[in-house]
Structure 1
Amino acid sequence: MAGVWRWRHNPLRRATDRFEAWLALVAFLLLMLAAPALGWLCGARTDAALTASVRAQRADRHLSTAVVVRRLAASRLVPDPEISTGRMARTEVVARWHAPDGSARTAAVTTASRNAKPGTKVWVWTDREGDPAPRPMDLPTAHTHAALAGFGAAMLAALLIECGRRLTVRRMTRRRYERLDRAWAAAGPDWGRTGTGS
């Protein structure tokens, strides 16, 4: 705003100076209004989609009681992108459980249970057919992903606005220098010499 006001009545102003000041003002308003609005919109839509996905996963996946047949590996910290708690100690085991139709299932699964000795009962996530399934995403993780998506969209919009402004100013400056070079060339090599009529 100060740039627009400063060039308002300045007798040395050029059209490009005024345009550059207005461009800076418009870019500032877009950065303050449009980028956050776009970020909010993207975050809200992502949150709605992820919340629906969480509901679908919760409807499709169930906790089943399984019996440990044997242990495959020692406990280790495993990152789980579906939950907000981050890393947790998980143990790989071969477990046996019954599917909803009553058939027995055996598969390698990971469990959060610290006691993973053969014969121990543990909880495993299964789908509707009784096959092992990943843990469903929890709501705090969905909200976190949505907030990050909104923030990323706002930052990307701000970056594009600023890059557009800088490219426009660079092009204007290049054209200004080209006009100045042409004006100097038109003045000729005798510019400023005595006796040349200048």
Structure 2
Amino acid sequence: MRAAAGVWRWRHNPLRRPTDLIEAWTALAAALMLLLAAPAVGWFAGNATEDSLRQAARQQRMHRHPVVATVLRPAPPPRSPASEAEPPPARERPRTVWARWTSVDGVGRTGRIAAPPHDARAGDELTVWTDRAGRIVARPMEPAAVRVHAVLAGTGFAFASAGLVEAVRRLVLWRLSQRRFARLDRAWAAAGPDWGRTGAGS
């Protein structure tokens, strides 16, 4: 509303400079872009992200399979690289166990898997996700995670668009200010030699 009022105020003002009208129209255009274009960009970006992630989640569910793994024994903590002065605290180390599972092709496999939050003992059964080759993989993305990522992507694109609009507006205002200063300098240079002299310009 302020931008529209500025355009109307400068419409027939006798003191209006060309740069004043450009500034008012720039403010109005920026306000419309912030209110309409930025949310639209965020909405389209969020929908595109959601569609892409849903398709990726479907592919994951097709190629990843839950299997039951039996815990054999706790796995020793991985060795720290020689470059590290001291190993990380025990609470920061990843907790793993050795387990045995049968992949979807019927082949038995043994390997290190992430331990559950509680202490796993030998003989405990855990559900893990494997690919067709029986390798341990991450759990397929859940629909809730897809929505969260889509909302974050849409919000990020909306704010980025708003920031771009504001940056362009500030650049235009800076250029207009430079033009005003240059015009003032030229006017001052033209009137400067006679400024303050009696009878100047007569």
2:116 to 112, 116, 138: 112
Please tell me the root mean square deviation across aligned C-alpha atoms, in Å. 2.0
| C-alpha distance in structure 2 between counterparts of 1:14 and 1:48, whole Å | 50
Q: In structure 2, what is the equivalent of residue 11 of structure 1? A: 14
Is 1:197 equivalent to 2:182 in the alignment? no
| TM-score, with structure 2 as normaliser | 0.86
1:44 to 36, 43, 47: 47
| C-alpha distance in structure 1 between counterparts of 2:98 and 2:37, whole Å | 53
Q: After the TM superposition, which residues 94-133 of structure 1 pair with which residues of structure 2 at under 5 Å, given as runs?
A: 94-112=98-116, 114-133=118-137
Compared with structure 1, are the counterparts of its residues 76 and 139 closer, same or farther at alpha carbon in structure 2 (3 Å cutoff)? farther
1:59 to 62, 65, 70: 62
Residue deviations 1:13-41 (CA, integer Å, cap 9, x gap): 01110111011001100111111000000
Higher strand fraction (1 or 2): 1
Compared with structure 1, are the counterparts of its residues 197 and 45 closer, same or farther at alpha carbon in structure 2 (3 Å cutoff)? closer
| C-alpha distance in structure 2 between counterparts of 1:77 and 1:135, whole Å | 22
| Equivalent AA in structure 2 for residue 4 of structure 1 | V
| C-alpha distance in structure 1 between counterparts of 2:37 and 2:57, whole Å | 30
| C-alpha distance in structure 2 between counterparts of 1:17 and 1:164, whole Å | 17
Q: In structure 2, what is the equivalent of residue 181 of structure 1? A: 185
Residue deviations 1:148-176 (CA, integer Å, cap 9, x gap): 00000000000000100100110111111
User: In structure 1, the residue corresponding to 2:40 is in which secondary structure?
Assistant: helix
Are the equivalent residues in 2 in contact too, given 1:68–1:95 (CA < 8 A)? yes
Q: After the TM superposition, which residues 18-37 of structure 1 pair with which residues of structure 2 at under 5 Å, given as runs?
A: 18-37=21-40
| C-alpha distance in structure 1 between counterparts of 2:95 and 2:192, whole Å | 84
User: In structure 2, the residue corresponding to 1:13 is in which secondary structure?
Assistant: coil
| C-alpha distance in structure 2 between counterparts of 1:113 and 1:184, whole Å | 77
List gaps (5 residues or longer) in structure 2: 78-89
User: In structure 2, the residue corresponding to 1:195 is in which secondary structure?
Assistant: coil
Are the equivalent residues in 2 in contact too, given 1:113–1:122 (CA < 8 A)? no
Q: In structure 1, what is the equivalent of residue 86 of structure 2? A: none
Identity within the alignment, %: 51
How many pairs does the alignment contain?
187
Q: In structure 2, what is the equivalent of residue 83 of structure 1? A: none
| TM-score, with structure 1 as normaliser | 0.87
| Equivalent AA in structure 2 for residue 170 of structure 1 | W
List gaps (5 residues or longer) in structure 1: 79-89
| C-alpha distance in structure 2 between counterparts of 1:147 and 1:33, whole Å | 18
Q: In structure 1, what is the equivalent of residue 166 of structure 2? A: 162
| C-alpha distance in structure 1 between counterparts of 2:32 and 2:92, whole Å | 47
User: In structure 1, the residue corresponding to 2:181 is in which secondary structure?
Assistant: helix
Q: After the TM superposition, which residues 125-164 of structure 1 pair with which residues of structure 2 at under 5 Å, given as runs?
A: 125-164=129-168
Q: In structure 2, what is the equivalent of residue 85 of structure 1? A: none
